[in-house]
Amino acid sequence: MTATDPPRTQAPSLFTRARRRLTWVDSFLWVIRVGAVLLIAWGLIGSIQRFTAGLGPTGSQWRDLLVAAIAFGAMYGLIAIGYSMVYGVLGFINFAHGEVFMSGAFIGYFAATALSNGGLWQSNPIIAMLLTLLVSMATSTFMAVLVERVAYRRLRSSPRLIPLITSIGVSFFLQYSFLGLFGATVRTYPTLPPFMTGNIDILGVPVQRSQLLVIVVAAVAMSGLWQFVTRTKTGRAMRAVAEDKEIAALMGINVDRTIVTTFAVGGAMAGIAGMLYGQLYGVSFFMGFLPGIKAFTAAVLGGIGVIPGAMAGGVLLGLFEGVGPLLILGGLGIASPSQLRDAVAFSALVLVLIFRPSGLFGEAVGAEDRA
């Protein structure tokens, strides 16, 4: 560089004027946005070309994958509700929620095994599975409430970072308590009764019965929860506390009780997810970790604090990570795309947040509401 360097000091203002309204961060984000869309489009085109050339999975294989991904996502959605609801009322992320899910699945496993040994699982599978579901829900509910009572209640008036870090501690405590109590082996639920395996035709489309079960149970649970939150007095109290704890208290709402209810409801949903997940994929002390992180991702994706957002975020995340690797990365010609499923899931979160920083269903959060 020489001493005479006029372009720097007397910058021709054409360039500067054009980007006067555009900050560096904004333009950087736009580059990422456009780049991401182009990359995804490229991958999609690649997959479509392969498909039309008769390569890769057939149409019905893609359809099966889609259904499987929705079923997996429905479980994420059920767990995500717990993250979202707790965030809604207390404004912190309860990282122990994945372990609440795990505990339900675990104790549900013991119930199912006992029922199977007793013969009820075989002779009357529906009742046996309902009992297992109840046990799983009860365990998760109990665990969620217990954690709130022991670990979070005393910290309610402290800065939100403190319960957040506490929740990480609780998460490890629960994980390794289960490891100590029950060992590290992966245990499998008794097999599903014959009428729940194989395919069933829904509007001419064959769907795996186990996946249908997951989707139906999740849909029923979610609509039940929605009714509860919108129609009942307790639900209204929960929304009021989420809006403003102090005013809600002034209106005669028992805030403590409402918070316990929130934990309980979130726990129950996690218990349902736990039983479904455990039934399909087995249980181990570590099973709550990744689904927990994914469900948290789903909750943020849908807009944290918003219940329908958690549900939709879960299903969407399931779709992204189930179909995304093969559809986008496969189309880009990347080898072993399934190994990158977690990367795809978390990239999906980043992308959604780049386009909509408050999540799909979220509202813009004021500075004082942020954790």
Partner 1 sequence: MRMLRKGVRTAAIVAAASLVLTACGNGDTADLTDDTEADADATGDEETDDPGDDPDEDAAEAGDLGSVTYQEGEAIQIRSLEAISGDVAFLGIPNQRGTEIAIADYGDVQGFAVELGTPLDDLCSADGGQSAAQTIVSDDTVAGVIGTSCSGAGVPASELISSAGMVMVSASNTNPALTQTPFGTEGENFSEGYYRTAHNDLYQGAAVAEFVYEELGLTQMAAIHDGDPYTDGLTTAFQDAFTELGGEVVVYTAVNKGDTDMVPVLTEVAGENPEGIFVPIFPPEVNRVAEQYVNVEGLEDVVMISADGAQVEGFLEIAEAEGFYFSGPSLQFEGNNNEITDKSATDFLEDYQEQYGEAPSAAFWAHAYDATTLLLQAIDNVAEVGDDGSLTIDRAALRDELYSTSFQGLIGQITCDEFGDCGAGEIQIILHEDSSVTDATQIPVVYTFVPSE
Q: Which residues bind partner 1 (CB under 8 A)?
A: 1, 3, 5, 8-9, 11, 13, 16-17, 20, 55-58, 60-62, 64-65, 68-69, 72, 184-186, 188, 191, 208, 277, 280-282, 284, 286-287, 290, 321-323, 325-326, 330, 335-339, 341-342
Q: Kindly tell me the burial class for residue 112, based on how many C-beta atoms sit within 10 Å of its own C-beta (0-12, 13-18, 19 or more).
A: buried
**CA atoms in the 13 A half-sphere facing the CB of 325:** 17
| Nearer of residues 49 and 58 to partner 1, judged by Cβ | 58
Q: Please report how close the Cβ of residue 180 comes to partner 1 at its closest, in angstroms.
A: 14
Indicate the DSSP class of residue 153.
G
Q: Please report how close the Cβ of residue 344 comes to partner 1 at its closest, in angstroms.
A: 10
| Nearer of residues 58 and 158 to partner 1, judged by Cβ | 58
| Nearer of residues 230 and 339 to partner 1, judged by Cβ | 339
For residues 279 and 209, give the distance between their C-alpha atoms in angstroms, rounded to a whole number: 13
Q: Please report how close the Cβ of residue 62 comes to partner 1 at its closest, in angstroms.
A: 8
For residues 158 and 166, give the distance between their C-alpha atoms in angstroms, rounded to a whole number: 12
| 26-43 burial code (b ≥16 CB/10 A, e <16) | eeeeeeeeeeeeeebeeb
Q: Please report how close the Cβ of residue 281 comes to partner 1 at its closest, in angstroms.
A: 4
| Nearer of residues 157 and 336 to partner 1, judged by Cβ | 336
- Residues in the chain, total: 371
Q: How far is CA 327 from the centre of its chain?
A: 21
Q: Please report how close the Cβ of residue 205 comes to partner 1 at its closest, in angstroms.
A: 12
Q: Please report how close the Cβ of residue 336 comes to partner 1 at its closest, in angstroms.
A: 4
| Nearer of residues 183 and 357 to partner 1, judged by Cβ | 183
| Nearer of residues 65 and 264 to partner 1, judged by Cβ | 65
Angle at 275 between CA 176 and CA 153, to 5 degrees: 55
Q: Are 300 and 365 in contact (CB under 8 A)?
A: no
